[in-house]
Amino acid sequence: MPAHLPGIPLPTRTSKEPGLTPVASKSNFNRYSAAGIARHSAQPNLVKVFARMARHLDVTRSNPGRRGNDWGGFTWMIIAIGSVVWFALLGQGSLRRSVLLACLGLASFISGSFVGFLFSSYGEEDSTLGKLRDWLIGAITALSVAKASSLKAVLVVFAADASSTEFAYTLGTAVLYAGIGFYFMYFYREIILNLTLARSRAERGKLEGSQQAGQVVQRFLLRLPASVLTGVDDIDDVGDVNKEEAENLKGLLYSADVDEFLKQADDAVKEGTADWDVVSKAAYIAYYRTYFGKDNQAAAVAKASEWITRALNMIPLHVDLTMKYAEMLAAKGEYEAATALLERLELRSESPFLVWQWLGYYLRFLPNRLDDAIRYSERYHSVFPEETDSLFNIAYACCRKYCQAMASGAASDVTTAIRQKAFDAFRRALKDQPEMKEKIRTEWIKDGTGLECMAGDDEFKSIVT
């Protein structure tokens, strides 16, 4: 089976997929947003602050990539400047009072942030933090009712003196900063942190063995290029891979890690949670398994076709997997479907030159497409004149065309020229790959190959012996 040349990167069409950006009504934004208010309000200074916050929040919604820096940095700046002004006003020139209130504000902010963190928990956090949140709600309710005097005693610690004015300062600061901490953490988690955590958990929760499977795929992509796999159905037929290395490669493909990965990949497909990373790796592993084990090759080809189809359903224009799917079709004897798929791919701008070689190989099995097989093979050989695989395809197609003419009694000077063209291609190809002589003698002229007439041709025999 011919295969894609993994060592040479295939050109692929790149395009930016448009994101889903929420569209708001312009009239509603002008009417209700802070930016709209800023244009119509008589209090420009305070409203400008809210207008700027609204613009940053709108950037957060429409451009998630800037979410963490813009919204978070601006909010921290507002809180910091406001806190400095607040503590300076309450301090009234007393450094001691300002420091006490600043300590209380910081403690209240942290306490409020902790509560906000618990209230914004989601997903798997509910099994742990959710219980703590429920307990905290009950504790706060009981404490506020039964231990109000204890709360007052804590606040008095941060007061500069025992007057009611100082208590009012501390109470106001505690409530203000506890509220700021709660809402800051709650909305910051809902808008930013929860999404980051979700991505991190998705990355962490990838299927076990995915990394090992990726390493196996990469090794096969580098070790088994198309020039090695072209025209073979089993790894034992690959001359560049000795028996020991073939066993090592087989051990990698059928290792416990890879088997476990494929099992989990099957489960993920059934549950609808399989992503491109999982499906593409499974497709490549199933594809390379078709080269190991002649006894069960039909089942391996069916499995590979199934996985490659899933991958192509996700990215229909994937060049490499499109070619591999065409190969699986040919492995099942569906040469017309395979060549139709490759000819559609050949029309695309990102199609690699290798498609011409594959078409020259597969079209030689279709009796009415032999001229096309010769044309594609010659086109490929003109680009890579040092390779000789396409010469074998030309020789095969010309011999089969000659045998068709001889069988129909239409022998002529044209058929004689076709025969000579086949023999010339054989001589040039066998000069580079003399080990192919035995295969040509024993397999190419069997019944059903279309080259049966060559068995009695003396010149043919002299070339392949």
Token readout for 327 is 């190969």
Q: What is the pLDDT of residue 129?
A: 62
Query: In this structure, are residues 174 and 156 in contact, taking their beta carbons and an 8 Å threshold?
Result: no
Contact status, residue 193 vs residue 201, Cβ threshold 8 Å = no
Q: CA 465 to CA 460: how far, in whole Å?
A: 9
**Span of 13-17, 99-103, 317-321, 417-421 with lowest mean pLDDT:** 13-17
Least confident of 20-24, 226-230, 313-317: 20-24
Q: Provide the residue count of the chain.
A: 465
What are 381-399's pLDDT values in tens digits? Answer: 999 999 999 999 999 999 9
Q: At residue 205, does pLDDT exceed 60?
A: no
Per-residue pLDDT of 398-439, as tens digits, reads: 999 999 998 888 777 788 899 999 999 999 999 999 999 999
Cα gap 283→429, rounded to integer Å: 34
- Please name the helix (run of DSSP H) or strand (run of DSSP E) that holds residue 58, with its range, or none: helix 44-62
160, 96 Cβ separation under 8 angstroms: yes
Q: What are the domain boundaries of the chain?
A: 63-204, 353-465
Query: How does residue 29 score in pLDDT terms, banded at 50, 70 and 90?
Result: very low
- Give long-range contacts, CB 8 A cutoff, 24+ apart: 100-105: 100/158, 100/159, 100/160, 100/170, 101/158, 101/169, 101/170, 101/173, 103/158, 104/155, 104/158, 104/170, 104/173, 104/174, 104/177, 105/173, 105/174, 105/176, 105/177
Residue 405's identity, in one-letter code, is A
Decide: residue 308, CB within 10 A, 0-12 exposed, 13-18 middle, 19+ buried: buried
Query: Which two three-digit tokens encode residue 384?
Result: 């890579």
Dihedral in degrees, nearest 10, Cα atoms 155, 159, 165, 168: -30
**Cβ distance 374 to 402 under 8 Å?**
no
d(CA 87, CA 97): 8
What percent of the chain lies above the pLDDT cut of 90?
31
Query: Of 2, 14, 1, 5, whose CA–CA distance to 352 is shortest?
Result: 5
pTM: 0.57
Measured between alpha carbons, how far is 359 from 362 in angstroms, rounded to an integer?
5
Query: In degrees, to the nearest 5, what angle opens at C-alpha 56 toward C-alphas 52 and 61?
Result: 145
Average pLDDT, the chain: 75
pLDDT tens column, 121-174: 766 565 566 666 666 666 666 655 555 566 667 777 777 777 878 888 888 888
Cα angle 54, 59, 62; round to 5: 125
